[in-house]
Amino acid sequence: MLRAMYERLAEAYGPQHWWPGEAPLEITLGAYLTQNTSWRAVERSLGNLRNRGLLDAAGLLATPEEELHVLLRPSGYMVRKSAAIRAFLGFLFAEAGGSFERLAAMRTEVLRPKLLALPGVGPETADAILLYALGHEAMVVDEYLRRVTVRHGLTEERSSYEVIQRLAWSAFAGERGKARVRHANEFHALIVMVGKEHCGPKPRCAGCPLACFPALLPERSI
């Protein structure tokens, strides 16, 4: 059913063109900064970095911590987030000489655990970096996907990240290589879209492209 839901969303919303045309560093920064905040707030922090010419790994790493706090303030938790970003940049230079291309050349099964070992990186952030910044086969599971799959009876409220991720991959079992990456990219973007438009903490099923699929409602708060 999830594949049919994906196709319905693609039909309703069209291509999402994620991540909005940005370079790997900006995508990675976005993956960190978006934790616990809105994308609008992330854009303000990224704008601050852009205005200071700091969308550059070496320049960013050389920026004094206090200055970074000020630049990242709009997206909140700036002390924690700037420490996590600096740790990532240190990792990027230690593992790949500062090159995202070289980092992307590592195998997913080697790279993912290394990312997960960094501060401030959970599975969602690791998979977002792998998929959108590095072009790896990775499936991002977020709160929107959890809500949609629970409300349509495909998973349970307490299902783990890995269980939901396996379910999502099962929708693309027949795909290989780049097609798999492309579908994972679109799938997450479309789920975010329907989540924002309809499947928030309170579902707004009227007019939702997925309203034609059976759902386990009346509403429960998830």
- How many angstroms from the chain centroid is the CA of residue 187? 11
- Nearest distance in Å: CB 8, ligand SF4: 10
- Of 61-69, 88-96, 158-166, 204-212, which segment contacts ligand SF4 by CB under 6 A? 204-212
Residue 215 near ligand SF4 by CB under 6 A:
yes
Neighbours of 206 (CB within 10 A): 7
- Nearest distance in Å: CB 1, ligand SF4: 11
Residues in contact with ligand SF4, counted by CB under 6 A, come to a total of 13
3-state secondary structure 165-215: HHHHHHCCCCCCHHHHHHHHHHHHHHHHHHHHHCECCCECCCCCCCCCCCC
Residue type, 11: E
Which residue, among 149, 140, 139, 137, has the nearest Cα to 2 in the 3D structure?
A: 149
Residue 204 near ligand SF4 by CB under 6 A:
yes
Residue 116 near ligand SF4 by CB under 6 A:
no
Cis? peptide before 19, omega within 30° of 0: yes
- Of 94-102, 113-121, 159-167, 200-208, which segment contacts ligand SF4 by CB under 6 A? 200-208
In the bound state with ligand SF4, the residue whose beta carbon lies nearer, of 81 and 151, is 151
Write each residue from 133 to 152 as x if it is in contact with ligand SF4 (CB under 6 A), else as -, in one continuous string. ---------------x--xx
- Of 62-70, 124-132, 179-187, 196-204, which segment contacts ligand SF4 by CB under 6 A? 196-204
- Of 34-42, 113-121, 164-172, 198-206, which segment contacts ligand SF4 by CB under 6 A? 198-206
- Nearest distance in Å: CB 122, ligand SF4: 24
- For CA atoms 128, 131, 132, 133, the dihedral sign is positive
Residue 198 near ligand SF4 by CB under 6 A:
yes
Residue type, 183: H
**Concatenated DSSP letters of 105-166:** TS-HHHHHHHHHTSTT--HHHHHHIIIIIT--S-----HHHHHHHHHTTSS-TT--HHHHHH
In the bound state with ligand SF4, the residue whose beta carbon lies nearer, of 161 and 213, is 213
Binding site for ligand SF4 (CB under 6 A): 148, 151-152, 194, 198-199, 203-205, 208, 210-211, 215
